Amino acid sequence: MYVAVTVIIMCILTFLLLIGTIIYFLASKSKRKTNLKLPRGMLNPDPLSVQVSNITKRNVANATSQLKDQFCDPENPRILQFGDISMAHHRIQGGIVRTDCRKSRCLSQLFDMNIHLKMEVNQDTGSFKERGARYALQNLTEEKKKAGVFAASAGNHALALSLHGKQLGVEVNVVMPKIAPLMKINRCQELGAKILVEGNDIAESREIALRMAYEQKGTYINGYDHYDILAGAGTVGIEILEECPLPDAILVPVGGGGLVAGVATAVKALSPTTEVIGVVSETCQAIVKSLQAGHPVYTPTRPTLADGLAVPNAGVNAFASMKGKVDQVISVPENDIAVAILRLIENEKVVCEGAGAIGIGAILSGKLNHLKGKTVVSILSGGNIDSTSLGRCIERGLAYDHRVIRLSVIIPDKPGGLSKLTGLVGELSGNIRDLYLERAFMRNDMSSQRVKMVIEVRGKEHEQQLKHRLEEEYDSSNCQFKNSNRLRGL
C-alpha cells in the first residue's frame, strides 16, 4: 500500500514538473517575441508607444529601398488644383486662426514699399503648418483615424499635427531628429503626441517614420508634399487676397515647396498679375537646383538661421504644382536673415523664426528694388524660435547693422593706460560689452599691450566718429577696426 501511494505521488509530481517546464518554455518564447528594446531617445513611453517605436538601425537602413511614400510618387505627381484649396479654405474655418495681413508703416517707410505682413506667427502653434495638418486629418477615414498618423518633423509640422490630432481625436506619432529643439519636443508631448527622438537629420527620421507607418498600418503625412498639406497651405493665398486685394507681389518662404506651391496656385487663379516670389536661404538651395534641373534633385543643406527651410529635397507634388506659377526665386544671405529678425522685433514687436523673416531679408538684400513704391506682402510663416537661437540672431543682426563693432588698439602698458582708453570710448557714448588684454603675444614693443574690445554703438556714423577719435589719440597704425559684416572672431 505504502509503495503504491509513493508511486502515485511521484507520478503526480513528474506530471506537474512536465507541465511547469512546458509553461516556462512557452513563456520564454513569447517574451523573446515581445521584449522590444526601447530606442534611445524615446520619451515618456507606454507599452503601445514602445511597440510602435520598435525600429532598429537595420530597419532604417533597409527602409529607403523598401518603402516609399504612397502620397508622393515621383512617377505620378499630383498637381494641386484651386478647387481643392477652396474646399480646404471652407473646411478648416473655425479650426485655425484667420491671421491678419496688416500694413507695416515702419517697414514701408524704411524700404519705400507698401509692405503688408501675413501674420501666420499668430496661429496657436506659431506657424502656417496648422492649415495643412488640420485639413489632412479631417480627410482621413474613420478606419485611418483609428490607426493613427505618422510624421517626421523637427518642429512646426509636428506641433501642428499634435494640436489638431488632439482636437480631432487622432493618434499622432512623430519621429523627431536629434537636432530638434527640446522646447518643441516637450510641447508636442504636452499636446498628447507620441514622440520618438531618433535620426541624425530629418531624412533619417523620415525613413523611421515611414517604417512605423507601414508596420502599424497608419498614414504617413509628409509635412511639405502631402496633397492635403499643399491644399491647406494654399488657403494662406486666399486670405491674403481677401484682406489685401491685388498686391503687386507676395514673398513666400521656400523649403520643400509646399507653401509656395499652395500660395502660387491660389494667387494665380484669383490674381494672375500678382508676382509670386519664392525666397530661400543661400545655404539651402534644393528648390533652386530642382528648378534648374527641371525635376526635384537631392541638394545637401548647410546650417542656416532659417532652419525651417533646411530641406534637401523639393517635394514631388509641390514641385509639379509650383512650376510655371512662381515668377522668381530669390536667395538671401544669412546676415540679411539675422537683420530681418532684428527689424521685426524692433519695428513690429514680432518674434519671428528665420524661415518666417526671410521675406523681409530678401527686401534687405537689395534684390527686390524693382518693387519700390509697390504693394508687397511678406508671409511671416512661423515664429517658433528658441531663446538661444534668438539671442544668436540678434547678436549677428546688431553686428551686421553696425551697432556692435570690434576693434583692437595698442596702448602703453602703464598705470592709467587702459583707463584713458575706456574713458575715450565713454566720452563718445560707446558701451563696452567685452574687453580682452593681450601682452604675451606682442611682437615688438615690450612696454605696450593690445586691447581688444566689443563696443555697442548707435550705427555706422557713430562707429566712424569713434574710429576717428581713437586714431587721433593712438595713431591709425595702432588701431584696427574689424569689418562688422564679416562675423568672425578677433
- Give the pLDDT means over successive 10-residue stretches in the chain (490 positions): 54 57 52 39 41 42 61 93 97 96 95 97 97 97 95 93 97 92 90 93 90 94 96 98 95 96 98 97 93 92 87 93 96 94 95 96 96 98 90 88 90 91 92 89 78 92 92 86 50
Say what the pLDDT of residue 368 is. 97
Say what the pLDDT of residue 438 is. 87
- Its pTM stands at 0.81
Say what the pLDDT of residue 11 is. 61
pLDDT 10s digits, 79-95: 999 999 999 999 999 99
Is residue 384 domain-resident?
yes
CATH number at residue 461: 3.30.70.260
Task: Indicate the residue among 198, 220, 242 that finishes a domain.
Answer: 220
> Do 286 and 382 fall within a single domain?
yes
> Do 262 and 382 fall within a single domain?
yes
Domain that holds residue 194: 47-60+127-220
Say what the pLDDT of residue 137 is. 98
| Spatial distance between the Cα atoms of 209 and 279, rounded to a whole number of angstroms | 29
DSSP category for residue 369:
G
pLDDT 10s digits, 227-253: 999 999 999 999 999 999 899 999 999
> Do 342 and 206 fall within a single domain?
no
> Do 145 and 157 fall within a single domain?
yes
Say what the pLDDT of residue 27 is. 52
C-alpha cell at position 13: 509530481
CATH number at residue 149: 3.40.50.1100
> Do 143 and 261 fall within a single domain?
no
> Do 201 and 289 fall within a single domain?
no
CA angle centred on 286, ends 155 and 362, rounded to 5°? 80
> Do 361 and 460 fall within a single domain?
no
Say what the pLDDT of residue 477 is. 83
> Do 190 and 253 fall within a single domain?
no
> Do 331 and 408 fall within a single domain?
no
Say what the pLDDT of residue 8 is. 62
Task: Indicate the residue among 166, 193, 220 that finishes a domain.
Answer: 220
Task: Indicate the residue among 382, 397, 412 that finishes a domain.
Answer: 397
Number of domains in the chain: 3
| Spatial distance between the Cα atoms of 326 and 279, rounded to a whole number of angstroms | 11
Say what the pLDDT of residue 22 is. 58
E-strand ranges in 317-466 read: 328-332, 375-380, 404-412, 431-438, 448-456
Q: Which residue has the cell 498679375?
A: 273
What are the Cα distances from residue 262, in Å, to 151, 296, 383? 20, 17, 20
Determine the length of the chain.
490
| Spatial distance between the Cα atoms of 379 and 123, rounded to a whole number of angstroms | 13
